[in-house]
Chain A
Amino acid sequence: MNYDWSWRIFLELSSNGVDSYLHKLLIGVGWTLALSLSAGFIALIFGSVVAVLRTARPVWLQLIGTVYVEIFRNIPLLVQMFLWYFVLPELLPKDWGDALKQMGQPWGQFIPAVLCLSFYGTARLAETLRAGIQSLPGGQRQAGTAMGLTPVQVYRYVIMPQAYRVVIPPLTSEFMGIVKYSSVALTIGLLELTGQARAMQEFSFHIFEAFSAATVGYLLINGCVVLVMHYVERHFALPGRIGWNTRIKLSGAAS
């Protein structure tokens, strides 16, 4: 039994006869990045909204938040992907549905994938942020209210700035999660990194080179996520918290 391992395969022409396999894989990296960045950004915004709903005073707001989170967390991502891609066009008015179906490669796949990952990510980030909000002492909210801030202002100026800082470590793993989940988009035909590696494996029969390249790609992307979030964490560390010391050390060395 021997496997014919060759690094040169990456430079050979891929199935379309124009680009090399390496080029194709890099395009895959581009789609993975585009997908995770847009989904991560949308999920962060709406996740904050849902987290606020879940911790707000009025019970009906809490209920809306809870129902949203439970629905999107308890259906497998792959099923949600199929719902967005196959079922949504059927449920919309006919013109809209047809317009969605007729969208060509790759936008016809990219938009449902972004929608799917954003809605799913929103539910997950909302849970993370809610834990952050609830970890703050109740006196913060009361103090804000006592100063005459409206409930919206309390969240905007008192609670959220602290909550974001508290949840940076779990937020890091959620963002890494979004990068990983973006691979599910290959099931609806979007050729992101895993999809490109799979296509390369099918055409070249160099199975393990293709998957090794994809593995390295994900390790690098997630390594960058960790580095960026590390920087964010140090930059925004709160005075008086444990993370503050490292920042003093850093800025002390600079000044």
Chain B
Amino acid sequence: MNFDFSVVIQAMPYLFGTGMTFTLTLTFAAAGMGLILGTLLAMMRLSRYRMLSIPAGIYVNTMRSIPLLLVIFWFYFLMPYIGAWITGASRPMNVGAYKSAIITFTLFEAAYFCEIMRAGIQSVSRGQMSAGLAIGLTNRQAMQSIILPQAFGNMLPSLVTRVIILFQDTSLVYVLSLTDFLGAGVKIGQRDGRLVELYLFVALVYLVICFSASRIVKLLEKRAFVAR
């Protein structure tokens, strides 16, 4: 056994400049869009109209019972056909792994954010909605300016925890040969024949980032507890 960690130090600019940048871009793009879509889905699931609640329920439950890897493959191959269908082209469109990954993670995370936001909306007491309606707000206004901000606040720790999981899950884009943080590490490792060192380093970096982020969640939880 002889290890040479100087390879890792030389590879830092590539690992973080290319790899980590991609991982973070994917994480935050999917988290942001997924949260918006997830909130819409949550409102659909809680809607009185079955036309809205049933399809949303089927979507969320299906997404949550199949593996992310399978979803990644599904959308990677399905996206060119959907693209062609939307634009009316006669041949499958070239979407590319990068866009396909962002769309996949957005749609997949939306299902999980939906369940968190649904719990959040249900945690707000019914009187809040009635009070909003009583002072003359429309249903939509009451939802937007009274219910959702509180739901969001109550669920902040769960939402951040989900983003941490998303951050870890983005490593699965490895199967599309994209250069995320892990992908960058593997590429360097294969080039220099130092896979072991690179794998250990990548694991350590993920560990440090996710552990620190989970401490922040703990602080958020404590603050939420005091606020109530």
Chain A contact residues, CB within 8 Å of chain B: 1, 3, 70-71, 73-80, 82-83, 86-87, 90-91, 176, 179-184, 186-187, 194, 197-198, 201, 207-208, 211, 214-215, 218-219, 222-223
Report yes or no: B84 in contact with A1, Cβ–Cβ below 8 A: yes
The docked-state distance in angstroms from the alpha carbon of A198 to that of B71 is 12
Q: Once the chains bind, are A208 and B174 in contact (CB under 8 Å)?
A: no
Verify B206–A214 contact, CB threshold 8 A: no
* Chain B residues within CB distance 8 Å of chain A: 1, 62, 65-70, 73-74, 77-78, 81, 84-85, 89-92, 168-169, 171-172, 174-175, 182, 195-196, 199-200, 202-203, 206-207, 210-211, 214
A1 contacts B92, C-beta separation under 8 Å: yes
CB-nearest residue of chain B to A181? B67
Question: Are B81 and A1 neighbours in the complex by a CB distance under 8 Å?
Answer: yes
B199 x A215 contact (CB < 8 A): no
* Contact A79-B69, Cβ < 8 Å, known A1-B91, A90-B196, A187-B175: no
Q: Compute the total of residue contacts between A and B using a CB distance below 8 Å.
A: 107
Contact A194 B172 (CB under 8 A): no
Q: A76-B182, A87-B200 are in contact. Are A194 and B171 (CB under 8 A)?
A: no
Interface of A (DSSP majority class):
helix
- The distance in angstroms between the C-alpha atoms of A218 and B214, with both chains bound, is 30
Cβ-defined contact, A194 with B210, below 8 A: no
A186 touches B62 (CB 8 A): no
Query: Which of A75, A77, A83, A201 has the most chain B CB atoms inside 10 A of its CB?
Result: A75
When A76-B171, A90-B1, A194-B70 are in contact, do A1 and B196 touch as well, CB less than 8 Å? no
Contact A197 B207 (CB under 8 A): no
Cβ B199 vs Cβ A180 within 8 A: no
Name 20 interchain pairs, CB-CB below 8 A, sorted by A.
Answer: A1-B84, A1-B85, A1-B89, A1-B90, A74-B206, A75-B203, A75-B207, A78-B174, A79-B199, A79-B206, A83-B199, A180-B67, A180-B68, A183-B70, A184-B69, A184-B172, A194-B73, A215-B70, A218-B65, A218-B67
Enumerate chain B residues within 8 angstroms of A208, measured Cβ to Cβ.
77-78
